[in-house]
Structure 1
Amino acid sequence: MTVTCGIDWASDHHDIALVDHEGVLAARARITDDATGLEQLLKLLAEHGDREDAPIPVAIETSRGLLVSCLRATGRPVYAINPMAAARYRERHAVTRKKSDHLDAMVLANILRTDRAAYRTLPHDSELAQAIAVLARAQQDAVWDRTQASNKLRSHLREYFPGFLTAFESAREGLCHPLARVLLAAAPTPDQAARLTRPQLRALLKRAGRKRAIEAEAERLREVFRRPQMRQPALVEQAMGQQATALLRQLDAACISADDLATAAVEAFDTHPDAAIITSFPGLGALTGARVLAEIGDDRARFADAKGLKAYAGAAPVTRASGKHLAVMARKVKNQRLAAAGYVWAFSALTASPGARAHYDRRRKAGDRHTAAQRNLYNRLLGCLHHCLTDRIHYTETAAFPPSPAEPQAAA
Structure 2
Amino acid sequence: MLFVGDDWAEGHHDIEIMDASGRALLKARLPEGVEGIGQLHGLIGERIGRDADPEQVLIGIETDRGPWVAALVAAGYRVFVVNPRQTFRFRERFSPSGAKSDAGDAHALADMVRTDSHQLRQVAGDSDLAEAIKLLARAHQSMIWDRQRLVARLRAHLRDFFPAALAAFGEELAAAEALDLLGQAPDPDTAMKLSLAKITAALRHARRRKIDERARKIQDGLRSEQLRLPPTVQRAYAVTVSSLVAMITTTVEQIDYLEQELTGHFHEHPDRAVYLSQPGIGVVLGSRVLGEFGDDQDRYAGPKARKNYAGTSPITIASGRRSTVNARYVRNTKLIDALMRQAMAALAGSPGARAYYDRQRARGLPHNAALWHVGNRLVGILHGCLATRSLYDEATAWGHHTAAAAA
Residue 40 of structure 1: aligned partner:
39
- Asked whether the 8 Å contact 1:126–1:298 carries over to 2, the reply is yes
User: Residues of 2 paired with 1:204 and 1:393: CA distance?
Assistant: 47
Where structure 2 has 5 or more consecutive residues not aligned to the other structure, the ranges are: none
Residue 390 of structure 2: aligned partner:
393
SS in 2 for 1:404: helix
| Residues 332/407 of structure 1: CA separation in 2 closer, same or farther (3 Å cut) | closer
User: Residues of 1 paired with 2:351 and 2:266: CA distance?
Assistant: 27
- Asked whether the 8 Å contact 1:77–1:121 carries over to 2, the reply is yes
Q: Which moved more, 1:187-196 or 1:73-82?
A: 73-82
Where structure 1 has 5 or more consecutive residues not aligned to the other structure, the ranges are: none
User: Residues of 2 paired with 1:326 and 1:98: CA distance?
Assistant: 34
| Residues 116/211 of structure 1: CA separation in 2 closer, same or farther (3 Å cut) | closer
- Asked whether the 8 Å contact 1:4–1:20 carries over to 2, the reply is yes
Deviations 1:318-348 (A, max 9, x none): 1111111111111101111111001110000
Amino acid at match of 1:177: A
- Asked whether the 8 Å contact 2:11–2:31 carries over to 1, the reply is yes
Count of residues in Structure 1 that have an aligned counterpart in Structure 2 = 404
| Residues 220/83 of structure 1: CA separation in 2 closer, same or farther (3 Å cut) | same
The CA deviation at 1:212 is 4.3
- Asked whether the 8 Å contact 2:6–2:109 carries over to 1, the reply is yes
2:237 to 232, 236, 240: 240
The CA deviation at 1:201 is 2.0
Following superposition of structure 1 onto structure 2, how do residues 11-410 of structure 1 map, counting pairs within 5 Å?
A: 11-49=10-48, 51-52=52-53, 54-170=55-171, 174-206=172-204, 208-210=205-207, 212-402=209-399, 404-405=402-403
SS in 2 for 1:123: coil
User: Residues of 1 paired with 2:97 and 2:103: CA distance?
Assistant: 16
Deviations 1:35-61 (A, max 9, x none): 111111111111121634534111111
TM-score normalized with structure 1 length: 0.94
Amino acid at match of 2:353: A
TM-score normalized with structure 2 length: 0.95
The CA deviation at 1:298 is 0.3
SS in 2 for 1:58: strand
Q: Which moved more, 1:130-139 or 1:254-263?
A: 254-263
Q: Which moved more, 1:37-46 or 1:82-91?
A: 82-91
Amino acid at match of 2:188: P
The CA deviation at 1:213 is 3.5
SS in 2 for 1:259: helix
* Identity within the alignment, %: 39
Amino acid at match of 1:190: P
